[in-house]
């Protein structure tokens, strides 16, 4: 995981985007969640050597970003941070899978390179879609949507709390880290004993904080559910959004759209 201090700032940026007002942000979170799920299942359902079939699917994250005013550079940065695991694991494909595959008449390259490219493409598509979903929806509405779709209430409530206190505890940890560094100049990292005491203190403070939070929540009438600022209403636009994207990903999956388009462009229809 990327260190949270840069991560926390980026989380703030995500929140800011989700509070913008555009048609994408106004859609019901459930609609966006359903469409994203259909998209993800379609992406991973392709065979391991698929590349061309995956390309039209880029329309979904691109559309979410464009219509929801999510800066593409922001998504790209997140992609880069998350990339290493998949890049390393996928890199074994060219090593183990050397059987040549024909990509065009007379041109064949080892199958491993094709499947590696396919993995990288899948990675970019799925991660970009997830980031775009949260960016145009916001974390708390995603949680409530999950609850409306059947996730246990206690789980959703504590997911929302986790998100809320992530920032608070991250700031507290940074202060502790700075204090420790100032008292131990010339030492890059704390020893394991000091680490135990640092994290232990953080934990004790966290537990006390949780107690205060609980009391405060009870005082404000908390009964196990987080209120929403934007009420959820699944309207015609939401239904149309889901229907269009499900139809699109199904069309991409069952028909070879790029080939059709290419044949159309080259004038060799039929």
Partner 1 sequence: MHMADALISPFVGGAGWAASLGLVGYSARKIKIAADDASVPLMGVGAAFVFAAQMLNFAIPGTGSSGHLGGGLMLAALLGPHAAFLAMASILTVQALLFADGGLLALGCNVVNLGFFPCFIAYPLLFRPIAGSSPNRARLSAASMIAAIVGLQLGALAVVLETKLSGVTALPFGAFALLMQPIHLAIGAVEGLATAAVLLFVWQARPGILHAGDTGAFSKKLVAALLVAALVVSASAGWIASSRPDGLEWAIAKVTGEADLVAQAPDAGSSLAGVVGAALTLLLAGLVGLALRRRLAAKG
- Cβ proximity to partner 1, 14 vs 27, nearer residue: 14
- Cβ proximity to partner 1, 66 vs 232, nearer residue: 66
- Nearest distance in Å: CB 268, partner 1: 7
- Cβ proximity to partner 1, 28 vs 127, nearer residue: 127
The position carrying tokens 């926390």 is 8
107-110/100-104 β-pairing: antiparallel
Q: Scanning residues 231 to 250, which ones bind partner 1 (CB under 8 A)?
A: none
Q: What is the CA radius of gyration of the chain?
A: 23
Q: Give the span between the Cα atoms of 53 and 32, in whole angstroms.
A: 23
On whether the CB atoms of residues 161 and 209 are closer than 8 A, the answer is no
Each residue 139-158 as x (binds partner 1 by CB under 8 A) or -, in order, gives x--x--------xxxxx-xx
Q: Give the span between the Cα atoms of 257 and 252, in whole angstroms.
A: 6
For residue 118, what are its two tokens?
């396919």
Decide: is 207 part of the binding site for partner 1 (CB under 8 A).
yes
How many residues sit close enough to partner 1 to count as binding (CB under 8 A)?
A: 130
- Nearest distance in Å: CB 83, partner 1: 9
Q: Where are the alpha helices (DSSP H) in the chain?
A: 4-18, 23-26, 29-45, 59-67, 72-90, 92-96, 111-137, 139-148, 153-183, 192-219, 236-254, 257-266
- Cβ proximity to partner 1, 71 vs 235, nearer residue: 71
Decide: is 138 part of the binding site for partner 1 (CB under 8 A).
no
Decide: is 130 part of the binding site for partner 1 (CB under 8 A).
yes
Report the residue from 74, 148, 202, 232 that binds partner 1 according to the rule CB under 8 A.
202
- Cβ proximity to partner 1, 120 vs 232, nearer residue: 120
Q: Give the span between the Cα atoms of 178 and 145, in whole angstroms.
A: 39
Decide: is 228 part of the binding site for partner 1 (CB under 8 A).
no
- Nearest distance in Å: CB 214, partner 1: 4
The vertex-32 CA angle with 131 and 234, nearest 5°, equals 150
- Nearest distance in Å: CB 34, partner 1: 12
Q: Scanning residues 163 to 182, which ones bind partner 1 (CB under 8 A)?
A: 163-166, 168-170, 172-174, 176-177
**Kind and range of the H or E run holding 103:** strand 100-104
Q: Scanning residues 68 to 107, which ones bind partner 1 (CB under 8 A)?
A: 69, 78-79, 81-82, 85-86, 89-90, 92-93, 96-97, 101-105
CA-based nearest residue to 256, from 64, 99, 114, 51? 51
CA distances from 78 to 118, 171, 215 (A): 19, 21, 37
CA-based nearest residue to 163, from 189, 204, 134? 134
- Nearest distance in Å: CB 269, partner 1: 10
- Nearest distance in Å: CB 202, partner 1: 6
Q: Scanning residues 7 to 26, which ones bind partner 1 (CB under 8 A)?
A: 7, 11, 14, 22
Decide: is 131 part of the binding site for partner 1 (CB under 8 A).
yes
């Amino acid at each position: 995981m990327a260190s949270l201090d840069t991560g926390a700032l980026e989380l703030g940026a995500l929140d800011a985007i989700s509070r913008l007002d555009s048609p994408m942000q106004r859609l019901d979170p459930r609609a966006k969640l359903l469409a994203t799920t259909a998209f993800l299942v379609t992406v991973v359902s392709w065979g391991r050597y698929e590349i061309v079939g995956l390309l039209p699917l880029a329309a979904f994250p691109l559309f979410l970003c464009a219509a929801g005013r999510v800066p593409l550079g922001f998504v790209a940065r997140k992609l880069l941070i998350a990339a290493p695991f998949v890049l390393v694991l996928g890199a074994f494909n060219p090593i183990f899978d050397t059987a040549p595959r024909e990509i065009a008449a007379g041109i064949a390259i080892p199958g491993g390179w094709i499947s590696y490219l396919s993995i990288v493409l899948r990675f970019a598509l799925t991660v970009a879609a997830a980031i775009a979903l949260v960016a145009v929806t916001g974390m708390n509405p995603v949680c409530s949507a999950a609850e409306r779709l059947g996730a246990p209430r206690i789980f959703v409530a504590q997911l929302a709390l986790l998100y809320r206190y992530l920032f608070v505890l991250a700031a507290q940890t940074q202060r502790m880290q700075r204090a420790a560094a100032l008292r131990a100049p010339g030492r890059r990292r704390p020893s394991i004993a000091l680490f135990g005491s640092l994290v232990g203190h953080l934990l004790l403070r966290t537990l006390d904080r949780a107690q205060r939070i609980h009391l405060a929540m009870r005082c404000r009438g908390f009964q196990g559910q987080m209120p929403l600022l934007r009420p959820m209403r699944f309207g015609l636009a939401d239904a149309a959004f889901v229907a269009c994207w499900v139809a699109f990903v199904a069309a991409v999956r069952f028909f070879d759209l790029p080939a059709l388009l290419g044949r159309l462009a080259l004038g060799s229809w039929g």
